[in-house]
Amino acid sequence: MDSIIGTVVTAKVTDENDEAYFVQIDGQTLWVDKTEPEKPLHIGGLYEGFVYENEDHHLQMTRFVPEISFDHFVWGTVVRTRHDLGVFVDVGLPNKDLVVSLDELPTISRLWPKKDDRLYVKLARDNKQRLWATLAELTDFEAIAKPYDRAQVKNTDTMATVFRLKMAGTSVITDDNHLGFVHPSEREQEPRMGQHVKARVIGFLRDGELNLSLKPRGYEEIGDDAQMLLAALQHQADHALPFWDKSDPDDIRNYFGISKSQFKRAVGNLLKQRLISQQPGEIKLLENADEQADD
């Protein structure tokens, strides 16, 4: 007999108590939460719903049929982790979260999904007739991926979900369903599976994926004081200011409102980013600084 777990069936109402109705199909008794039906059920009547094993390991039927199925993927939200089992994801079932097995997760536990991360999953059933959630493959993401307009997305920020971790880099899909790839050189640290990350489009790959970076733009790395100096230089007609690291502390504070040590750190940061030059008595914006700030 084929298993009915994970499928939608119609069963006959056979009994009830204060908390539940009981329905039967093919000799199996299923539990129905009494608060679910819109109208009272009657003995001998029929009831249709989705069958699963609840947290108490009883067969339950719900009329709230989830979108997930054995051939349909959904985004499940991670709710908790068990390192001896895997991660639990909410796919819309009452009193039941499905497990993504640790066999499908990264071998390094710090790269496992955390609470509120997202995984693209469908149903799976093992030989003991237990329901699991199983991860989508690259081909499944390719099936939902959409083309992009290069002119519209170049150098834009986007949000994306990590779905594959490899030595060569990180595969993601954006919230707009564009496939993307992050080379290890374009991230400060490796993101975890299921993590929602902010990325920047830096190019286009031959296979149609977006080439993405998780690193901030240069001007986002330089800090508030350095950004203030940069803005002050940009507003000068000659893009220069009569200050340098030997300037009088009081002059620096009166003009910029920061200490000399803050000023020196900011200047050092801008010099490191190759956004300014410094010579005795002057700091000056480099000619290509505006372009670098827009990268």
| 3-state SS, residue 257 | coil
- Beta-strand (E) ranges in the chain? 8-16, 20-25, 28-33, 46-53, 59-62, 74-82, 86-90, 98-101, 118-125, 131-135, 157-166, 169-174, 179-182, 196-204, 210-213, 240-241, 276-279, 282-285
Element (H, E) at 223: helix 223-234
Encoded tokens for 9: 């069936």
In this prediction, residues 195-217 reach a mean pLDDT of 91
Element (H, E) at 289: helix 289-293
| 3-state SS, residue 272 | helix
Superfamily of domain 145-213: Nucleic acid-binding proteins (2.40.50.140)
Neighbouring residues of 27: CB distance < 8 A, sequence distance ≥ 6? none
Q: What is the pTM of this model?
A: 0.74
Residue of 61, 68, 104, 65 lying closest to 86 (CA atoms): 104
CATH topology of 8-62 equal to that of 145-213? yes
CATH number of 8-62: 2.40.50.330
Render pLDDT for 65-108 as a digit per residue (tens, 0 to 9). 999 999 999 999 999 999 999 999 999 998 899 999 999 999 99
Encoded tokens for 226: 């350095």
The residue whose two tokens read 């300037």 is 247
| 3-state SS, residue 47 | strand
Confidence of residue 287 (pLDDT cuts 50, 70, 90): confident
- Cα–Cα distances in Å, from 85 out to 60, 104, 256? 23, 11, 57
In this prediction, residues 225-241 reach a mean pLDDT of 89
Q: What fold, for 74-136? A: OB fold (Dihydrolipoamide Acetyltransferase, E2P) (2.40.50)
- Domain ranges in the chain are 8-62, 74-136, 145-213, 219-293
Name beta bridge partners: 130: none
Render pLDDT for 129-176 as a digit per residue (tens, 0 to 9). 899 999 999 999 999 999 999 989 988 999 999 999 999 999 999 999
Q: What fold, for 219-293? A: Arc Repressor Mutant, subunit A (1.10.10)
